[in-house]
Amino acid sequence: MSLFWFVVVPTLLIVAGVPFFWSLRRLGFFSKRARELVGVYKEFKEVRIDEFGMLVSGEADNLVNYELRLTWGERRKFAVERIRRAKNFLRCIAVNGALCLEVARFQIRKVEQATGKRLLERDHLATRLFDRGAMCHFMAAVCLARMYLLEFWMIAWPFYVPDFGGRFEVRGFKLAAWYEHMVEDVLEVAEEDEREWLWENTLFMLTGLIPMPGDEKG
């Protein structure tokens, strides 16, 4: 018994903990950097936010799990694929949230250096971007954990086919909506830059959308 508690358990915790913390590091959870938008925009992960919204919607649940005449095995196959794709989206959203935090820190420091005072205005663009970036970062991590839990339930109960409705909300807040708000703030930061390509590239990387001729910034 003593061997189990003093050798086996710590070994298992280390084996499980190292990949876990390595994954958190890759998602930017321990970053405290402050960088200008032009310094991070190439690191944004492309997120087609409309495609993500359709993937995790209740309408997709109804179509795949109830309306289409699919066998149990086909529904399971669709569920596994939806979870895989959702996890990829969530990792990208988490990374983008972390990068937006870096941009927000840079903007906050720039304002504080210019004024010589701490930025306490909650509705200021910089603080708003920080709050929304942090929220998206956190919500994506929570939803990612839920996807891993769904995979576990599907292994434990072979006949279980999950619905996705409500699994991408945290305390009643929808991840997709918060992400879109964060994108609006980042684009407002980009709009202040004289380089028009920065706004366009940032829009594409964060949403998968391409500005059409005649579209106005913001």
Distance of CA 196 to the CA centre of its chain: 26
Does residue 22 lie in a domain region? Answer: no
Task: Give the pLDDT confidence of 162-173 residue by residue, as tens digits.
Answer: 888 889 999 889
pLDDT tens digits, 104-161: 999 999 988 888 888 878 889 999 999 999 999 999 999 998 998 998 888 888 888 8
Q: In which domain, by residue range, is 67 found?
A: 34-207
14 assigned to some structural domain: no
Best CA proximity match to 70, nearest among 165, 164, 161, 152: 161
Q: So what's the pLDDT on residue 140? A: 94
pLDDT tens for 13-39 read 444 444 444 454 555 555 678 899 998
pTM given for the model: 0.82
pLDDT beyond 90 at 176: yes
- The pLDDT score that the predictor gives to residue 20 is 43
Average pLDDT score over residue span 70-95: 91
Does 29 map to a domain? no
Residue 179 has pLDDT above 60, yes or no: yes
Is 214's pLDDT higher than 60?
no
Burial of 61 (0-12, 13-18, 19+ CB in 10 A): buried
Q: How many domains does the chain have?
A: 1
pLDDT for res 123: 86
What's residue 18's pLDDT? 42
For residue range 65-77, what is the model confidence (pLDDT) as tens digits?
Answer: 887 788 888 888 8
Confidence of residue 2 (pLDDT cuts 50, 70, 90): low
Burial group, residue 60, by CB count within 10 angstroms (0-12, 13-18, 19+): middle
Residue 56 domain flag: yes
Residue 59 lies in a domain: yes
Instruction: Please report whether residue 213 resides in a domain.
Output: no
The total number of residues shown for the chain amounts to 218
Residue 201 lies in a domain: yes
Q: Does a structural domain hold residue 15?
A: no
Query: Residue range 201-213: average pLDDT?
Result: 83
pLDDT at 9: 42
Q: What is the pLDDT of residue 73?
A: 84
**Mean per-residue pLDDT of the chain:** 83
